[in-house]
Structure 1
């Protein structure tokens, strides 16, 4: 039997399969910390440098393992610091349980030090389940419900533990009395697939289509083989939402790559010209990059019925697991004999890779950011895991990296917050210590959180079977994505007061921690730097000095965006001349597809 309620919580979490907890200590959770010390042979406490990092690590653990992740923080400020990472998990539908301390029960309501109304604070991010424990008899069912609901609903849940309750004697089995709850662990097993009539209706729509486009998201990550087979039957191309980048390999000739503002020209062309859309496991939000309403008949598959017909008015909506639903749909699909649509897509994809190669070789001052990613792509180790931050780096991650089968990758999709790449990479490395991991970040995100996460990397890497964790810092001295959004969306010139970043010696800092630090200042040094980092006997940081004037050109520029861009340039943008030159190079490469271009 457990000794204290804190011991009981950890014992119950262990029975649920939890093996590590991400967090930061504080006296508001002293009871839990003492129990963690006693249970260190069962559950490892991963001390982050900040509670936000802990929540990001928990989100990434859930993303890369499929398990329910747990993070922990003290009362008041510690609990508050968790919120951004928890909202990242909520937005990307990841199962995370947050355990937070609270003032002692006798002090609650008395404006006590570090007393915050945590039920109200967490009511939105953990809307599926947030409760405060008041007596030991609650502990068992609070843990059970938080874990089960997080797993079943793929959501964030929260348990609030008053300080004094943590040290009370545990009640292993609640008394068999009126108003007590007797919960259990039994894992939830469910097979979610649509009914036969709905599957037949979907097949009729797809079989009738002559130009079928598929959009795969994070919900399709477990359905790679089925997506490929469906695309082959229907002669379709596959575009991918950012969180679905690993759903199908990028080296397949009919995979058009990412879609949206950070997407590719083939994805734009496919969506603009298709007559049928099959959306699988995606809540891709930007309707302007989907077919025009009424252009295409639609079928959507999603495990959550609330997400159906939300982005495009679908004719058939299927509630079900992507893999199971596609498996049951496949026998009903007819193989299309006319492969003209498929051949058109493959030709556009082939040309697009030529465009990207040509763009990556354009000269810049000092380094074209696209070349950093183009050089990395063929060097990606087998079964590597790639994490990426928000910002212009996400554009190059989305477009220039060719994911192969067996690789994993993620970023902050729904929340699109800055800061997760390094904590994501840490969580990936802790879950898979034998796999190489690459974290991609801009200098803004690294200054915000990443440099703190490097301390944990240096502290833990000797425990990993494969020590390779490579952090790329694209150092352009600019909060680059926002700068481009100011120009293209607002028609405003770059506001240097908000956009220019102070310089920071990232490579030197990495070396001071005992890591490999490499500063890259010429294009010719990029490839050798990647080679050195990927064969190093310790984690490495590549600080690559990049040109902020190279535009992350969207696949389609509207007339309004073009007018805003021109307005920004003539309104005194400090980088106007360089931007015009760089934009001209991008436009020319897009026009000629890189054919006959000399590489420089």
Structure 2
């Protein structure tokens, strides 16, 4: 078989273990897609939008630890990749994007659809290059892949449309060396950090996804320090469940009072594998020790007394050997009242949340009283929907969630127990990510349950890629929180004292839309129907769209509600009432 540019690229992807390539076909990509057509073991997944293709590739990379691959043809096709690639970049996911380009002889001539890809991707990519000669391969491909893995980001390789079919003059195959190094901090820095932790009376851990691979080491450290463990959203995966007696949930806008007080009550904070970005949620006046693989992350969110640059697992093991405080249950062990107080408050909060999530909640006295203010239409509570999904979903399910209120309800009511996995746009905060990320996740394993928590605004943005699920028979379960609103924006407006504006969505019947596309659709309008509908969705083979009409006025109270937020919400509600009266002609 001739060693063309396209063949070298596709053969190398196969050797790297890439199983799917996501994209939209186009003339500049024809040599590459034809090479994929004739390659066993690498599947072309034709999407309806390149943004969905990039999201799918990013999800695969994050879930599998392998290279995610997507393609966009010349000009607009490559431009459409950008948002999904930004999400991959901010998630530190190794992704290779193959971008089409105009013929070599037309480069720089303002040819039809010509876009300067090297400029276009300059901000999002850790590596970008345009192939201008066949013999630049396989070296350029090797550099792209090594940069994607080594720098944990996006590499973009641009291939002009008339270059893919050209043959190389060399038979040298692409070679990749991808063994990541395990870094450790200096011993003197570990001793300094251990000394700070030994002298502390009350330590709280803030644990991020960067610590997931070191779960047992982190649990051992929490036990040694008698420290409650506050989790970032991305650390739910790997650190939740009954097997972790230290975790107290999340902080931030999606968090809970127990986590907030665990941070406030501590005198020392230990940050493990997290770059939690919200400065307002870090308490002031604390001694801070931070562990991260990236030196640039140390101290950029909160001032630190000791920064340890290294692999979380290796660093935590080093800390354990340097701590002088004895293990729990032995004489002189650290007092555990700080941990016990945080855990008690967390369990109390969880109990209250469970009552809210009961589908019959609004039938009780308190529920009826509450409904007169925030749910006069007796819509389904989103808490109830999330809780039922959590109860009925498999213990190895993969969850994705759209940015906004869908993520809030997932964070509070879905526990990442067992072998569950979680993917979302938790760094970029894009809309429309849940469905295409679920697409990528399901391609990895068509037998594993994949559940997408979709906002109605997010789903409608990339609605066309429902057809990709149908075409490739991907059994994703789409759970749509259909509150006819851009819910998070609504909440942000009202907390600032502004009346709701521009957030109302004139939605179709999403279940009927799915049916028209050949996908089973289930629409739920009554709380009493909820559990039966979720069971039916999970039991139905193939993709299913579950359209649940949820309460648009549901309020997610943050972990530390402020007087200003409460006052702003009250003012906003008065403005909304006055406006609605004016709209219908009443005084």
Instruction: Specify if TM > 0.5.
Output: yes
CA RMSD of the aligned region, Å? 1.9
Match of 1:529 among 528, 533, 553: 533
Shift of residue 516, structure 1, vs aligned partner:
3.0
Report 1:366-405 matches (<5 A).
366-405=379-418
Shift of residue 171, structure 1, vs aligned partner:
3.2
CA 1:172–1:573 in structure 2 vs 1: closer, same or farther (change >3 Å)? farther
Shift of residue 350, structure 1, vs aligned partner:
0.8
Match of 2:269 among 274, 277, 295: 277
TM value normalised by structure 1: 0.89
Report 1:68-217 matches (<5 A).
68-126=67-125, 128-173=126-171, 184-217=175-208
Whether 1:246 aligns to 2:250 is no
The gaps in structure 2 that reach 5 residues or longer are 328-332, 363-374, 582-587
Shift of residue 173, structure 1, vs aligned partner:
4.8
The gaps in structure 1 that reach 5 residues or longer are 175-181, 578-600
Aligned to 1:416: 429
Distance 1:62 1:25 in 2: 22
CA 1:432–1:223 in structure 2 vs 1: closer, same or farther (change >3 Å)? farther
Distance 1:310 1:171 in 2: 49
Distance 1:183 1:7 in 2: 11
Shift of residue 448, structure 1, vs aligned partner:
0.9
Aligned to 2:338: 341
Report 1:514-525 matches (<5 A).
514-525=518-529
Aligned to 2:348: 351
Report 1:310-349 matches (<5 A).
310-333=300-323, 334=325, 335=327, 336-349=333-346
CA 1:21–1:376 in structure 2 vs 1: closer, same or farther (change >3 Å)? same
Match of 1:567 among 566, 571, 581: 571
Moved over 4 A (4+): 573-577
The C-alpha deviation readout for 1:102-148, integer Å capped at 9, x for no partner, is: 1111111111001011111100001x211111111112111101101
Match of 2:467 among 451, 455, 458: 455
Shift of residue 183, structure 1, vs aligned partner:
7.4
Shift of residue 567, structure 1, vs aligned partner:
2.4
Distance 2:248 2:393 in 1: 20
Match of 2:254 among 262, 267, 275: 262
Whether 1:481 aligns to 2:493 is no
Contact (CA 8 Å) 1:273, 1:291: kept in 2 or not? no
Whether 1:30 aligns to 2:27 is no
Aligned to 1:587: none
Shift of residue 42, structure 1, vs aligned partner:
3.6
Distance 1:250 1:288 in 2: 28
TM value normalised by structure 2: 0.91
Match of 2:544 among 510, 527, 540: 540
Whether 1:305 aligns to 2:295 is yes
Whether 1:504 aligns to 2:508 is yes
The C-alpha deviation readout for 1:351-406, integer Å capped at 9, x for no partner, is: 01012112224433311111111222222312111110011111111111122132
Which secondary structure state, in structure 1, belongs to the residue aligned with residue 104 of structure 2? coil
Distance 1:195 1:433 in 2: 45
The C-alpha deviation readout for 1:471-510, integer Å capped at 9, x for no partner, is: 1001111111101111113x21011xx2111121211222
Aligned to 2:228: 237
Shift of residue 512, structure 1, vs aligned partner:
3.3
